[in-house]
Structure 1
Amino acid sequence: MDDELRERVEAAGEAAALFNALKHGSDPDVGAIMGPLMGENPEFRPHGDEIPGVIAPIVAEVGRMDETERRDRLETLAPERLAELEADDEEDDRVLPDLPNAEAGAVVMRAAPNPNGPWHIGHARMPAVIGTYKERYDGEFICRFDDTDPETKRPDLDAYDAILEDIEYLGFEADRVLRASDRLETYYEHARELIDRGGAYTCSCSGEAFSELKNDGEPCPHRGKDAETVREEFEAMVDGEYDSGEMVLRVRTDIDHKNPALRDWVAFRMIDTPHPREAAAEYRCWPMLDFQSGVDDHLTGVTHIIRGIDLQDSAKRQRFVYDYFDWEYPEVLHWGHVQLDEYDVSLSTSTIKELIEAGDLTGWDDPRAPTIRSVRRRGIRGEALVESMTALGMSTSDVDLAMSSVYANNRDLVDDGADRFFLVRDRADDPAVELPVVDGDAPAPAAGRPARHPDHPDRGDRTIPAGRVRLETSDLPPAGERVWLKGYGCVRRAEEELLYVDADIDVVRDGDVDVVHWVPAAESLETLLRTVDGDVRGYAEPEIADAAVDDVVQFERIGFARLDSFDPEGTDEPDGPTGEEDLVAYYAHP
């Protein structure tokens, strides 16, 4: 790291430490500010291993300031950050606006997922917001699976339960769960009534022919059919007497409407591909989403609909049906799309599925996949994701979700309960090295005893044998220089060994000696750490074997991780990709 970059890191690190301390009313921590620091300064990321050491003395200095000193210093260094804090202090806790014309106890909202695969992270926004509104208004949350397209968005039978599990993970529960594919007869009955009201007609035009007529504002030649003929042909559709593309049922709208997309839109079409659900496999006449969803919203009493700004035409189409039936249309709120940083994989269920099928991802919970299953396996709590999603508000513009905000929320939730451990990574560009620790200026202790958690001395210390140790090469000092093995003491490097100096922490406080993590060479557990950037191998200290699967721990100087599987005795095959690991952990965040 050159001097110019170091100065920028120091300035940004000090601003981040001051902001963090003032926001949370506590002393800052290097781990707590690393996520926001790297997220806001992507050019720092190639130096991620060096930055904690650069900013540690600055963070310590901020920790010695009182609140007034911190506020004055932040105003000098980054006045816009102080203004952001003051704006946050004044902002109402409820970042979501009140629903229009909402009555407590009478609000009904629905999430309407297409179960063509488990949810990606962007999908979490809808249940997060609906669940929050349900709690605010003592309302009802419906989960309705819009699974009426067995061909182009073919349902995945496992996705129904997976989506309900995702909703539960986010902290909510649907009051009612519906599957549209169970309700075909209901849609048929409403189609028949619509035909009788003069609101629909059967059409055998090719798609190209109708599109040309529609764009020219010309009526379809089938538009003038009498209701009896339309009814007979629709019954033939229901009975499966037409092939795909041979006949559709159209809603009669306004052929002169200024928006061609609203002119006589399709309500039902024929699909030859059987539905994967056995209960729906015999049906061939399927409703389009705008018809099915519009009917269901009315029948289930939905009062408020949230949908993407790109789906504004859906409400306009459905209003034609509502007018024919003399129904009152629900309140509608539109929002923009969620765009996500950090991941190389797009927020697309079909893209993720293709990568899994090609073997480029190991599954929906691969840490590289931008899915709810993935962040859950990484030890990120649903509450953290909900808080970040609701903080996006209801803007009709596309919004950016910084994963650093999710990480910050999760850090607040897990930090207190996460015991600390050491993990020495063994990477191609920074391999682990072994050196003996021997007597030097003083006799070398047999073990180190770092705290299990710095804020909870009652949890006691860990015991780490120190006869022969592993360090990351980048932490090894030059010959003749000193380094502090955390929880153990100060050592000086000879060529092929570390000479014990003493346990006087003042050398660290004076800023002369770096503090590094380490593990014993013999007793450590071979570890696979699965991350968003790929798998990392290394060695964890032995006492981590006393933890349990699903525990979230902090690997000091690295970050938080969820323990996924253990095989310290080599007796069983662990769940890791190779079966060679004593421990598999999923990296959460800094």
Structure 2
Amino acid sequence: MDDELRERVERAAEKHALLNAVKYESDADVGAVMGPLMGENPEFRPHGDEIPGIIGGVVGRVNDLSTAEKRDRLAELAPEELAELEAEEEEDETVLPDLPNADEYDEVRMRAAPNPNGPWHIGHARMPAVIGTYKDRYDGSFIVRFDDTDPETKRPDLDAYYAILDDVEYLGFEPDDVILASDRVETYYDYARELIESGGAYTCSCSGETFSELKNDGEACPHRDKDPETTMAEFEEMVAGEYDSGEMVLRVKTDIEHKNPALRDWVAFRIVDTPHPREEAAEYRAWPMLDFQSGVDDHLTGVTHIIRGIDLQDSAKRQQFVYDYFDWEYPEVIHWGHVQVDEYDVKLSTSTIKELVEEGKLDGWDDPRAPTLKSLRRRGIRGEAIVEAMVGLGTSTSNVDLSMSAVYANNRDIVDDEADRYFFVREGEVFALDGGPDAGHPALHPDHEERGDRTVPAEGGVAVESEDAPAEGERVWLKGYGCVRREGDTFVHTDDSIEAVRSGEVDVIHWAPATENVPVRMRTPDGDVVGVAEPDFAETAEDEVIQFERLGFVRVDGHDGDSRDVDETQGVSSANRNAERSGNAEGDESVVYWAHK
């Protein structure tokens, strides 16, 4: 390939590398550049064997630029394509639609109604993210109501109440009211009695199988025409705990010939023999079903707008029968599809995650492999990054996919400016140094000269990543230090200027001291990674988010085994788990949690 063609390839590669980096707000990727480059320039195809090497050098130089520098350089090379990209970015921003009939209410009041059977997974964040955003838009109220009236099938976890409220706070919201349904059982009894007196409910002792046959045939239960006095007496016996589970239920009288069998005389109360885990509610045996409890609470707390899954459309229809009996006005309802999250092997299910934690397959709810808000928080993902991504999904009735890359891009925008840079080398190769300065002095942050430089000692040799180690006789540029040539197991310092990098002749790599370094364990969704960092890294603070240059952002969990026990629901402290995992009883390594590129 002649020099003229090489220059053309480099120019075209730089443009596409910048487009790739700016569009996805991350480092450019050789593979992502290769396709559009060759498609746009078919005359390059005869040189396909040489071009990936040229692209690699260009991508390395582009990735060394700050976010602002990448965008500025793209504006110089391809202003029209940058303008198109920015227009696409604006179109991609999904704005939540206005709430229906919001102006007809004195105050918009919405609720999140979690079942406290465990901390929240990522999918749970959608509801508080959207409700909190609507609250801010309408200056309304945000209620958290724990629907904890199922002591058996979805048994509440006492720690989950606090964990969920902690997750709401992490997402950036503060509820105006916090309600526990298990505190309100007497209220549900009162409304059940009122419903019985009006003839809107009856007690039924049919087996589940028998009633199901009758319901599906559109035939009335033989208990349907009981007088209210008999129903009331039997309901009071339910309240007194005189029946065993399955012996008696209270049904709402609807339309036994309704076209939807699921709406025919549905159960409002049933007997649960398993005591509630909350001491304050342990005495109750007659518990309301969710549709009755939730419907009553939505009215009593003045909820104006409900968001629920498209699969719960029958809930609104069931509750409408109760609202009609009491002459209440039903809230506005928005149904949306399910959210599915990519990247994780673990199912988005509280029960599944709990099982994996109990079996020891996950270290806790904050394990980096767990698709939970606790995990994202420990990895250094800011709550507002999740909220922005969830709000961007809108409120469509179709199922939607949340790409974690969207969360990471949002988080990158938040933390990039504040995150200082450090070197971390994963199980690298060690080389002696011949000549050159005693230390390197890379910037703490490329966009903030006022923060100064780091001092990275080099007298005892350097460690570099295996894939970065040059071949015999080849040169590399140790970032913040200078150019070196490999001669056996030694890097010999050269007098090359930075022009060697700018011309594409020499790649820039990160490195760490071979001796004066900090052992680091990096916890990632794909498993733990060990290596060494430069000594200044030891001065970082717990919970600080930093960037390991060329690798990505991480959150500092602790130094010398002193990592914070974020997951308070687990009996083993994180520091102990880290020490046990490393095989080092003293836990003398620093621990960081991987966030993203």
> Which 10-residue stretch deviates more, 466-475 or 384-393?
466-475
CA distance in 2, matches of 1:369, 1:560: 18
* SS of aligned partner of 2:78: helix
Matched, 1:257 2:265: no
> What letter matches 1:205 in structure 2?
C
CA distance in 2, matches of 1:446, 1:323: 83
* SS of aligned partner of 1:502: coil
- Shift in alpha-carbon separation, 1:62–1:125, aligned structure 2, 3 A: closer
Q: Deviations along 1:252-282, whole A, 9 cap, x unmatched?
A: 0000000000000000010111110000011
- Shift in alpha-carbon separation, 1:53–1:524, aligned structure 2, 3 A: farther
* SS of aligned partner of 2:102: coil
> What letter matches 1:399 in structure 2?
V
* SS of aligned partner of 2:330: coil
Matched, 1:450 2:442: yes
* SS of aligned partner of 2:101: coil
> What letter matches 2:429 in structure 1?
V
Cα deviation for residue 70 of structure 1 reads 2.2
> What letter matches 1:288 in structure 2?
M
Matched, 1:587 2:594: yes
- Of the three residues 403, 411, 434, the one matched with 1:438 is 434
Cα deviation for residue 56 of structure 1 reads 2.7
* Alpha-carbon contact 2:517-2:535 (below 8 Å) kept: yes
- Shift in alpha-carbon separation, 1:88–1:489, aligned structure 2, 3 A: closer
Cα deviation for residue 505 of structure 1 reads 1.0
- Of the three residues 467, 476, 481, the one matched with 1:474 is 467
Cα deviation for residue 66 of structure 1 reads 5.8
* SS of aligned partner of 1:125: helix
Q: Deviations along 1:110-149, whole A, 9 cap, x unmatched?
A: 0000000000011001001000100110101000000000
CA distance in 1, matches of 2:409, 2:441: 29
> What letter matches 1:286 in structure 2?
W
* Alpha-carbon contact 1:560-1:589 (below 8 Å) kept: yes
Cα deviation for residue 497 of structure 1 reads 1.1
* Alpha-carbon contact 2:57-2:504 (below 8 Å) kept: no
* Alpha-carbon contact 1:35-1:408 (below 8 Å) kept: no
Q: Deviations along 1:206-255, whole A, 9 cap, x unmatched?
A: 11111111111111111111111100110010011111111110000000
Q: Superposition pairs for residues 384-399 of structure 1, below 5 Å?
A: 384-399=385-400
CA distance in 2, matches of 1:300, 1:550: 38
Cα deviation for residue 69 of structure 1 reads 4.2
CA distance in 1, matches of 2:449, 2:258: 73
> What letter matches 1:98 in structure 2?
D
Cα deviation for residue 504 of structure 1 reads 1.3
* Alpha-carbon contact 1:30-1:56 (below 8 Å) kept: no
> What letter matches 1:455 in structure 2?
D
Cα deviation for residue 55 of structure 1 reads 2.1
Unaligned runs of 5+ in 2: 1-8, 37-53, 564-572
Q: Deviations along 1:56-80, whole A, 9 cap, x unmatched?
A: 34566966746374243569xxxxx
Residue of structure 2 in register with 1:498 after alignment? 491
CA distance in 2, matches of 1:446, 1:419: 23
- Shift in alpha-carbon separation, 1:514–1:182, aligned structure 2, 3 A: same
Residue of structure 2 in register with 1:5 after alignment? none
Q: Deviations along 1:381-427, whole A, 9 cap, x unmatched?
A: 1111110100111100000111111111111110111000000012x
> What letter matches 1:100 in structure 2?
P
Q: Superposition pairs for residues 75-474 of structure 1, below 5 Å?
A: 82=84, 85-89=86-90, 95-103=95-103, 106-426=107-427, 432-439=428-435, 444-467=436-459, 468-474=461-467
* Alpha-carbon contact 1:545-1:568 (below 8 Å) kept: no
* SS of aligned partner of 2:595: strand
CA distance in 1, matches of 2:349, 2:59: 38
* SS of aligned partner of 1:161: helix
Q: Deviations along 1:35-68, whole A, 9 cap, x unmatched?
A: 9979x99xxxxxxxx9976623456696674637
- Shift in alpha-carbon separation, 1:569–1:138, aligned structure 2, 3 A: closer
Cα deviation for residue 85 of structure 1 reads 3.7
Residue of structure 1 in register with 2:536 after alignment? 543
* SS of aligned partner of 1:586: strand
TM-score (norm: length of structure 1): 0.88
Q: Deviations along 1:160-204, whole A, 9 cap, x unmatched?
A: 011111111111100000000000000000000000011111111
Matched, 1:70 2:78: yes
> What letter matches 1:379 in structure 2?
G
> Which 10-residue stretch deviates more, 51-60 or 136-145?
51-60
Matched, 1:56 2:60: yes
* SS of aligned partner of 2:412: helix
> Which 10-residue stretch deviates more, 265-274 or 103-112?
103-112
Residue of structure 2 in register with 1:78 after alignment? none
* Alpha-carbon contact 1:527-1:581 (below 8 Å) kept: no
Residue of structure 1 in register with 2:505 after alignment? 512
- Shift in alpha-carbon separation, 1:30–1:145, aligned structure 2, 3 A: closer
* Alpha-carbon contact 2:379-2:554 (below 8 Å) kept: yes
* Alpha-carbon contact 1:524-1:542 (below 8 Å) kept: yes
> What letter matches 2:190 in structure 1?
E
% identical aligned pairs: 65
> What letter matches 1:502 in structure 2?
D
Residue of structure 2 in register with 1:554 after alignment? 547
Unaligned runs of 5+ in 1: 1-7, 42-49, 76-81, 427-431
* SS of aligned partner of 1:385: helix
> Which 10-residue stretch deviates more, 560-569 or 258-267?
560-569
CA distance in 2, matches of 1:98, 1:251: 34
Residue of structure 2 in register with 1:4 after alignment? none
- Shift in alpha-carbon separation, 1:284–1:424, aligned structure 2, 3 A: same
CA distance in 2, matches of 1:314, 1:258: 15
> What letter matches 1:489 in structure 2?
G
* Alpha-carbon contact 2:15-2:74 (below 8 Å) kept: no
* Alpha-carbon contact 2:121-2:348 (below 8 Å) kept: yes
